[in-house]
Each structure stands twice: as C-alpha cells, then as structure tokens.
Amino acid sequence: MESFLRIKALERSDIPIIINWARNEGFAPGRGDFEIYRNTDKQGMWMGWLGNTPVGCISAIRYNEEYGFIGLYLVAEKWRRQGYGRALWNKAMDHMDGLPCIGLEAAESMRDVYQRHGFRPSSTTTRWQLISDGSTTEQRKSVEGFNLVPGSGISEAEVQTYDAHREPSPRPHFMHLWLTHKAGSVFALADQAGKCHGFGRIRPSLLRKGEGWRIGPLMADTPEGASHLLSGLMAKHEGVIWIDSPGLNQQADQILQHSGFSPIGKTIRMYRGLPPAGNIDEVYGLACLELG
C-alpha cells in the first residue's frame, strides 16, 4: 500500500465515508449536512488517501476575506498518530492563509495542540440532550405580538438578515441551503409586518446507534422568544434531541434546563486572531459545530 498521503478535494461520492466516521465519533451528523458543507466552499473540504484507502478529512471554510472556520477534522482510528492528521491540518491552514480570524471547535484533549498553533479559548460550548415523548414539557405560550410560523411563512431574506446580524460573518449560501433542505423543519417568530424576531431548525440526525434530532440554529430577540421557538421545534419530535449552546449566552443554560435538557458534553470555541463580533446573547443554539 502507498505510504504517501494524497489530499484531494472532497467529492460527493466521499460523503458516505465521512458520515460513517462522524457517526462513529459521536458527532451525530444531520441528514444532508455534509452535502451542504461541501456546497458552502467546494475549495475548502478535503479527503486524505493512501492509494485507494481514505484515511481522514478536514474542512476549512472561508466565509469572506475576514473570517474562516476549521472543522470536520477526522482521521480514521487505524491511521492515527502517523502524521496524516498533521498533513490535513497543514492543508487547511494553507487555505486559510491571510485571514485575520479563524475559528474552530475543540475537544478538551486538543486544546493545547491548537494553542501551539496560535488559537486561544473564547468560551465553552455545551451539548444538551432531551429524551422526548413527542410533546413539549410545558404548555406552549404565545409571545405577545408575535406569531410562530413555519419557514415557508416568512421571507428567506428576513431570516438571512436576522442571522447575519448575530453570526461572526454573513453566510447567505450556507443559510439558503440550511433553511430549504427537505430534511427537518424551520420555524420563525414573526411580527404582524412579517419581520423576523427569531428562528430555529430541527433536523434528523444519525447517532452512534439509531437516529435522533438536532436543533440548530436557535436564535431569538429574548429568552421568552427562544423558549417559545424551542417548544415549537420539539413538538411532535419523539426520541433523542440534541442542541449545542454557546457559553457566552448565559441565559441559554437556564432555558434548556427549564425545558428538560441535560448537559452531556462540552467543547471549546477557539479563535486565532481577534474574536469576531456578534449578538451572541441572542444565539441559544449553534447551527452546527463543523462550520461554526
């Protein structure tokens, strides 16, 4: 077998391999997620190959000339500690060259490794879990002046604008694919004029064993709005539900605990460069950990 690692742009035919790796690692990928990731920056996702054998992958998404995000950094267990991960990492960092800020989500065991590459911790991301019976934990209460509407009941431009003002960087192509993908459901809080005051998405996900659901993103003007959206998203979804909340929004923990969620894991958001600005107090759940 060849010992030389060839790093090639991710092909659509590679996606089932990555899904299997991510599922075995407990990432709980959502249905359709990786196809969306690939279409967000087709120059920023790679697979490493030894001959005809895939050994690892990484993504490095340049959102614009100011910000990028590294994720989906995986090496198959058989091929770890042989330098292949470092080669993939170097490929990603070369692609990010010149960006003022790069983000990533790190396991605690990798914190020191990333710090040696100039990344600094920003906050803790918590993964929460709820075992749902298909109903919500409390009677859904309306938020005065707002309607809970399906994604088709509000203009995409409104939701895109809302997201852009709360994320480190506008991500219109990613959000269009994320909001319109047939897997899952989108809900928004809209006022009488159709203006967006919060939105969220729930999608089916692949657990190590079986399937469940993941919520993300979850954004709202107020904690009450976030709670109302969360309740609407969970309704009629039975089984395991996961959501990843940013540590800089301290109210997210209270809302999730009140809704019956329990913390099951933590990662660390890290940045190289000045951390980007954003209304993180209005972000209660991240879209995904792979693209930030």
Question: What's the 3-state SS for the chain?
Answer: CCCCCEEEECCHHHHHHHHHHHHHCCCCCECCHHHHHHHHCCCCEEEEEECCEEEEEEEEEECCCCEEEEEEEEECHHHCCCCHHHHHHHHHHHHCCCCCEEEEEECHHHHHHHHHCCCEEEEEEEEEEEEEECCCCCCCCCCCCCEEEEHHHCCHHHHHHHHHCCCCCCCHHHHHHHHHCCCCEEEEEECCCCCEEEEEEEEEEECCCCEEEEEEEEEECCHHHHHHHHHHHHCCCEEEEEEEEECCCHHHHHHHHHCCCEEEEEEEEEEECCCCCCCHHHEEECCCCCCC
Residues 98, 58, 124, CA angle at the centre, nearest 5°? 80
Can you tell me the distance from the alpha carbon of 183 to that of 225, in angstroms, rounded to the nearest whole number?
Answer: 24
Can you tell me the distance from the alpha carbon of 198 to that of 282, in angstroms, rounded to the nearest whole number?
Answer: 9
Instruction: Tell me whether strands 262-272 and 101-106 are parallel, antiparallel or unpaired.
Output: antiparallel
CB 228 within 8 A of CB 43: no
Backbone region of residue 236 per phi and psi (left: phi > 0; alpha: psi in -120 to 50; beta: other values): left
- pLDDT score, position 279: 78
pLDDT in tens, the chain (292 residues): 456 899 999 999 999 999 999 999 999 999 999 889 988 776 789 999 999 999 999 999 998 889 999 999 999 999 999 999 999 999 999 999 999 999 999 999 999 999 999 999 999 999 999 999 887 644 455 677 789 999 999 999 999 999 998 988 788 889 999 999 999 999 999 999 999 999 999 999 999 999 999 999 999 999 999 999 999 999 989 999 999 999 999 899 999 999 999 999 999 999 999 887 777 899 999 999 998 7
Can you tell me the distance from the alpha carbon of 232 to that of 230, in angstroms, rounded to the nearest whole number?
Answer: 5
- pLDDT score, position 177: 92
CB 105 within 8 A of CB 289: yes
Identify residue 171 by its one-letter amino acid code: R
- pLDDT score, position 42: 67
CB 64 within 8 A of CB 31: no
Pick from 224, 227, 292: which is nearest to 261 by CA?
Answer: 227
Q: Which residues pair with 196 in a beta bridge?
A: 190
Can you tell me the distance from the alpha carbon of 31 to that of 234, in angstroms, rounded to the nearest whole number?
Answer: 17
Tell me the pTM. 0.92
- pLDDT score, position 169: 79
What is the token pair recorded at 89?
């990492």
Can you tell me the distance from the alpha carbon of 115 to that of 271, in angstroms, rounded to the nearest whole number?
Answer: 9
Distances (CA, A) of 173 to 49, 101, 124, 213, 267: 29, 20, 27, 23, 26
